[in-house]
Amino acid sequence: MNEPLPVAINSQTRRTTMKCLLLGLASLLMASPPAFARGEAPSVGSTTWEAGWGRMSSGALVSWQVSDVKSGRMNWAFLIPSSNNSVTDDGYRYWSPGEINCREGVYRAFTIFDGNIKILDTLDKEVGKLASDFCTIYEEGFKDSPYYQ
């Protein structure tokens, strides 16, 4: 009986997933100005079709960077201000990282929040609306960019 326990495999898989998640989040936050990471960003950020950040009309903060223009993949991070935000000891709110493809209309997000499981459906709908709104605004602003060619 030298087979590893399933718990050990699950634990290793979770560690690997968490490392990838944390690396992605760290890279996005390092690229953002310190004021933006604290949620003090102005309504209009420094934006190009390749990367940018800003505040949506809903109050959500968004940061993005095109990672592969050929496939349309972008890394994005967002913060939907609410009482369910997970907060550090210093009072900084954790951002949720993910990937979005506005050309295909798909996204993936690792939502970070502090709350009970009952709010997941509501939060899921908010993230879906945020992704849709982001892609609408992105396309309106950058429809002539290499991203849409």
Residues 79-90: tens digit of each pLDDT: 988 887 888 888
- Of 13, 46, 44, 29, the closest CA to residue 88 belongs to 29
Alpha helices in 32-119 (DSSP H): 34-37
Residue 9, judged by CB atoms within 10 A of its CB (0-12, 13-18, 19+), counts as: exposed
| C-alpha to C-alpha distances, 54 to 33, 36, 57, 133, 137, nearest whole angstrom | 11, 9, 10, 13, 11
Question: By the 8 A CB rule, do 141 and 102 touch?
Answer: no
User: d(Cα 147, Cα 149) in Å, to the nearest integer?
Assistant: 6
Question: By the 8 A CB rule, do 97 and 77 touch?
Answer: yes
pTM for this predicted structure: 0.68
Question: By the 8 A CB rule, do 49 and 146 touch?
Answer: yes
Residues 89-139: tens digit of each pLDDT: 888 889 999 999 999 999 999 988 877 667 777 888 999 999 999 999 999
- What pLDDT does residue 2 have? 46
- What pLDDT does residue 117 have? 66
Alpha helices in the chain (DSSP H): 6-31, 34-37, 120-142
